[in-house]
Amino acid sequence: MFAPVLVAVPQPPSPETVKPGGVLLLDIKGGIGPATRDHLVRGLRRAGTDGARALVLRIDTPGGLDAATRDINQAILASEVPVIGWVAPEGARAASAGTYILYACHLAAMAPATSLGAATPVAMGGPQPMPAPAEEPPDDATPQPEPKAKPAPARRDAGDAMSRKAVNDAVGYLRSLAELRHRNADFAEAAVREAATLTASQALSQRVIEFVAEDIEAVLRQADGRTIRLGHRDVTLALAGQPVTKLEPDWRARLLAVITEPTVAYLLLLVGLYGLVFEGYSPGAVVPGMVGIICLLLAAYGLQVLPVNYAGVALIALGVVLIAVEFAMPSFGALGIGGVVALVAGSLILFDTDIPGFGVPGRLIAGIGTASALAFMAMLWLAARARRQPVVTGIEELVGSLAVALHDFHGRGQVRIRGEVWQAESSVPVRSGQAVRVLAMDGLVLRVAPVGE
């Protein structure tokens, strides 16, 4: 007899349903930088801790820093909670870095009257020339002779080579995200190479996004029942009617956002430098030095996470030092003019990027340069005015003052001036008690003459 043998037949894995919980809503607004990265990473961590069903990113950004964007995408790709990217509200955009983040999300959605794209990387130090696009074929169908290959130039422009390198790297990165999420990879490449953009309806028809939703309830309703790939397993979303909690940035994220704002970091640097200068002029004042050190430390933290040209930092510091030295020992304007020029030049090149939202406004630089120049000119005017005024302190102030002769003398004698007895010398006879005027000083001897002579 044969005992029955049960053989387990492997079944295809069925999609799981995410664990119960609400939905978190997190805003990505403005330039994407270290503060945005910190806020999103903390939001993903909280979503996992609270057992949220999904995290919705409401995106409205002109772009941001490459390093922060890649960190955000790595956090999304490693997330154990489904992430839905939603370009909203109406009129919002997911340009440049926002397009990369939207492609990384498990589901992508847009509100009506929104756009995405224009993901061409901006090189540090300003935009570099892009490779020329291929020539379009003529309108007629007549075959054209194949042009002869032109010899490659012996030397290539270094800036153009760096631009091609950055563009090709961005194309490969965005295409890999598109292939991972099964979205249109051709538009991903066009968004990088040609700065192509799409509206919400165009993005839906070209399979760049999964759906169009006008509000958060519509996002959850249309995402409900969809199956996504979460890590190494398939997950079916159950989001319809779930409560939504908006995740506001905490004090740390707000402080980081303020410090890493380029204009604030620039002003902190100037306040810190001038605070140390004032402390040097008035040792023991304590407050200027304390404020200066705190501002310099905050500026150092903000600048080290921003695309900073440290030659600009050095020029700003040199400019402040030269202006301070001009106040200490006037050089008839040479040091002061050099300091103002160095300060303005350093401010212009401080942030080595043309990314929107990561630069110092030109009006602010012009205002600070003008204020420094006016302070310098006022210092020169005060110095020139002081040189024209008579001396009012020291023994030199005795010249021109009146004294009284203590006895008759012709030649060397003694006079009393301001309660002190001085040796005096007169070329004319002086009587006792007669008022004399001090004409000059010869060492510790006053040269005097009777009043009226």
Three-state helix/strand/coil letters over the chain: CCCCCCCCCCCCCCCEECCCCCEEEEEEECCECHHHHHHHHHHHHHHHHHCCCEEEEEEEECCECHHHHHHHHHHHHCCCCCEEEEECCCCCEEECHHHHHHHHCCEEEECCCCEEECCCCCCCCCCCCCCCCCCCCCCCCCCCCCCCCCCCCCCCCHHHHHHHHHHHHHHHHHHHHHHHCCCCHHHHHHHHHCCCEEEHHHHHHCCCCCEECCCHHHHHHHHCCCEEEECCEEEECCCCCCCEEECCCCHHHHHHHHHCCHHHHHHHHHHHHHHHHHHHHCCCCCHHHHHHHHHHHHHHHHHHCCCECHHHHHHHHHHHHHHHHHHHCCCCCHHHHHHHHHHHHHHHCCECCCCCCCCCCHHHHHHHHHHHHHHHHHHHHHHHHHHHCCCCCCHHHHCCCEEEECCCEEEEEEEEECCEEEEEEEEEEECCCCEEEEEEEECCEEEEEECCC
pLDDT of the residue at 396? 65
Domains of the chain: residue spans and CATH: 16-130+161-251 (3.90.226.10), 260-388 (no CATH), 395-450 (2.40.50.140)
pLDDT of the residue at 91? 93
Burial profile 272-310: b = 16 or more Cβ within 10 angstroms, e = fewer: bbbbbbbbeeeeeeeebbebbeebbebbebbbebbbbbe
In the chain, which stretches have pLDDT less than 70? Answer: 1-20, 122-159, 330-333, 352-359, 376, 379-380, 382-396, 453
pLDDT of the residue at 356? 59
Give residue 233's identity as a one-letter amino acid code: R
- pTM score above 0.85: no
Bridge partners (DSSP) listed for residue 245? 24
Distance, CA of 232 to CA of 214 (rounded, Å): 31
* Count of C-beta atoms within a 10 Å radius of residue 157: 11
Could you tell me if 259 and 302 are in contact, meaning their C-beta atoms sit under 8 angstroms apart? Answer: yes
Distance, CA of 339 to CA of 320 (rounded, Å): 6
How are beta strands 402-405 and 435-442 bridged, if at all? antiparallel
pLDDT of the residue at 220? 94
Compute the C-alpha angle 30/178/135, nearest 5°: 90
pLDDT of the residue at 74? 94
Helix axes 310-328, 262-281, angle to 10 degrees: 30
pLDDT of the residue at 130? 38
Helix axes 185-193, 158-180, angle to 10 degrees: 160
